[in-house]
Amino acid sequence: MELRLNLAVSMLSDPRHDLAEIAKRSGFHDISYFNRCFRAQFGMTPREMRSGSRVIPPQLLTRQNFSPGGI
């Protein structure tokens, strides 16, 4: 599941993808479940992360989380 969530994080920076599309492309077919899993992993919703309204905790800022090669 961590790999799928990391894929979602990498897609959040592209505004062409809406959140439902990101969830689906990441392998989540239920947006509510995607949001719950995302919040459990990162401490914020995908919308909060995308808007930058929340600071990403430093321990989550790993190269694996944000590089295409880490997915």
Indicate which CATH number applies to the domain containing 51. 1.10.10.60
**Can you list the alpha helix ranges (DSSP code H) found in the chain?**
2-12, 19-25, 31-42, 46-51, 63-66
Q: What is residue 57's predicted lDDT score, i.e. its pLDDT? A: 59
Q: What is residue 71's predicted lDDT score, i.e. its pLDDT? A: 44
Distances in whole angstroms, Cα of residue 40 to Cα of each of 18, 27, 35, 36, 70: 20, 17, 9, 6, 20
pLDDT digits (tens, 9 = 90+) for 12-64: 989 999 999 999 999 999 999 999 999 999 999 999 999 885 555 555 655 55
Domain that holds residue 63: 2-70
Structural domains in the chain (count): 1
Q: What is residue 45's predicted lDDT score, i.e. its pLDDT? A: 95
Tell me the backbone φ, ψ of residue 43, rounded to 5 degrees. 75, 15
pTM, two decimal places: 0.72
- Checking if the pLDDT of 8 tops 90, the result is yes
How deeply is 71 buried, as exposed, middle or buried, from its count of CB atoms within 10 A (0-12, 13-18, 19+)?
middle
